[in-house]
Structure 1
Amino acid sequence: MEHVAAETPICSAKGCRAAAVWVIAWNNPKVHTPERRKTWLACEEHREHLSSFLGMRGFLKDVVKLGDWDFSRES
């Protein structure tokens, strides 16, 4: 696992300090309006785990490569 500098986006998985490669967009319908997107960042190793965690709860909306994500969509 590659460790990264502070200014590099890092994985949101607990204890992980690897560079983020993926944006996992999610929404809790009990709390957020339908168009709102919250995001977690994921390294290759944790993409599936974080996506599954959100998917099992019905929160997962999209998984996109970090370079392709439009951060203006996040609120």
Structure 2
Amino acid sequence: MNLIDMLGNSDLPQDQRATTTTEPGERICSRKACRQSATMQLLWNNPKIHTPERRKIWLACDEHVAWLEDYLQSRSLWKETLPLTPKDSA
């Protein structure tokens, strides 16, 4: 196993690690271990370290959008959830 294989997949059993790569430009869900295509974008900001106008973006598939939104809201980081459009993927 090389260093690249260890990054991001090391906490998964060998048989559950991602063995394929995503297509260039493909947007995948930000939920840990999810490899589904993203359909939504969650805009957030940590007011302790970011300026008020700064927006960080997590991508979410249909299955995980509610979980990620709840995670950010419970930490007072969530700003808004928007559909991921083809223009956003470029």
Give 5+ residue unaligned stretches, structure 1: none
- Say whether residues 1:53 and 2:71 are aligned partners: yes
Partner of 1:29: 47
Large movers: runs of 4+ above 4 Å: 68-71
* Alignment RMSD: 2.0
Once the two structures are TM-superposed, the CA of residue 68 in structure 1 deviates from its matched residue by: 7.7
Partner of 2:33: 15
Per-residue CA distance 1:2-40 (angstroms, 9 max, x = gap): xx8432100000000000000000000000000000000
Larger CA Rg, structure 1 vs 2:
2
TM value normalised by structure 2: 0.69
**How many residues are aligned here?**
68
**Share of identical aligned residues, percent?**
46
Give 5+ residue unaligned stretches, structure 2: 1-20
Alpha carbons of 1:55 and 1:35: their partners in 2 closer, same or farther (altered >3 Å)?
A: same
